[in-house]
Structure 1
Amino acid sequence: MSDLLRLPVLMEMVRQTVSDPSEGAEAILRLGLPRAALWLAFSLMIVLSMILGILVMLALGPPEDGPLTGQSPVVLGLLQGAFLFLGVHAIVRIGHIFGGTGGFDGALALVTWLQFIFIVLQVVQLVFALVVPPLAGIVSLLAIALFFWLLSHFITVLHGFTSVGQVFLMTLLSFLGILFTLSLVLTLLGIGLPTEPSI
């Protein structure tokens, strides 16, 4: 278990998960981490993501326009944590509606692991943005595709489903629903979303 605290071990697990998402998900679930450890890891991912966001802003400057422009790192971290927490519950509850058998702890473990993978990708994107800026956008698009690819496999393994394609469609529709709900919450909090794309 202590090996999980070593960065080389974690990076090898990331590589294995990206190359074989189903086996990567099974490996995470086999760890059987207690809920206290899962919450600690979940919180750590939020903090690391906030720190990385600050570094990106210092290196590249704040975005010129956007729904969350001007918000403090603490607010952004809380929003991200709330979104991920909502995602964990959605994975469990929607999966059960379709006959899945996965539990909350498993979903929390997989979402936390997915978040770590994307922190690694954010670091890669930052490097590209600093060294080869035109490629940073391509990395972002690949990261979005990878997100849904990994998440679909994770949910399939967690709930014991057999069709990754059907899970992908369910995940995409659920994600859009959660995003819509989050936009309503942000509006109620007085954080407006842009009504038209910026040029």
Structure 2
Amino acid sequence: MSADLMNLGHLLRLARETVSNPREGAATILDLGLSVPALRIAFALVVVLSMLLGELVVLVTPPPPEGALSLSPVTLGLVQAAFLFVIAHAITLIGRWFGGTGGFEGALSLLIWMQFIFLCVQVLQLLAIMILPPLAGLITILALGLFFWLLVNFIATLHGFTSLGMIFVMTILSAFGIIFGLSLILTLLGIGFGTL
């Protein structure tokens, strides 16, 4: 299985299968039982790749209006890493409050996997921007729906939940926890919401 993780074709097939059947895809990722060092490498890799794709998008899109907030790639990477770290803890802690059984490593592995899926979405957006710009906006809207679709199902699989109502409440509470935690981290980084 470790060899499969180095095979891009296998990863893309698994990503497609995860979108169509998130719970099965999440179970596959959790069954890998990735070690902490492997999770650290994967975490750093998805953050760096996302930064690079983000920079490519900036290069092919019109410059932002004068006075708009512009963050360096390093700052964006730190914000994204902080976001993933906070959301993993929120999903773990809130899930356990509701009787879930998932752990932090499992939550982090699923979020890393979700980030890989959205790297694929970013590539599609980049191609759309270059070939058919109006399509990029539609992809963004679909990506937002995909995010919640994957998140709810990943939480359910991680914690062993079956009640849709429970999962919905957990997702809402997790969102509030994530926003609160991220706001603290952004403040520590010197980025106020008033400047956004």
| TM-score of the superposed pair, with normalisation by structure 1 | 0.90
C-alpha spacing 1:127/1:42, structure 2 compared with 1 (3 Å): same
Flag the structure with more relative contact order, 1 or 2, with Cα contacts below 8 A and sequence separation at least 6: 2
Q: Distance in 2 between matches of 1:21 and 1:70?
A: 35
Alignment deviations for residues 66-101 of structure 1 (CA, whole Å, 9 cap, x no partner):
97x221100110011011001111111000000000
2:26 aligns to what? 25
1:5 maps to 2:6: yes
- The answer on whether the counterparts of 2:95 and 2:170 sit within 8 Å (CA) in structure 1 is no
Match of 1:166 in 2: 166
Q: Helix, strand or coil: the match of 2:192? A: coil
Q: Distance in 2 between matches of 1:63 and 1:140?
A: 18
Q: Alpha carbons of 1:65 and 1:38: their partners in 2 closer, same or farther (altered >3 Å)?
A: farther
Aligned to 1:128: 128
Distance 1:165 1:66 in 2: 43
Q: Is the 8 A contact 1:149 1:168 kept in 2?
A: no
Question: How many residues were matched structurally?
Answer: 195
Deviations 1:87-146 (A, max 9, x none): 111111000000000011111110100000001101111111221111211110110110
CA distance in 2, matches of 1:91, 1:116: 18
- % same residue: 57
Listed as ranges, the gaps of 5+ residues in structure 2 are none
State the TM-score, normalized to the length of structure 2: 0.91
Q: CA 1:137–1:158 in 2, change beyond 3 Å: closer, same or farther?
A: same
Label 1:63 to 1:183 Cα distance change in 2 as closer, same or farther (>3 A): farther
CA 1:169–1:130 in structure 2 vs 1: closer, same or farther (change >3 Å)?
A: farther
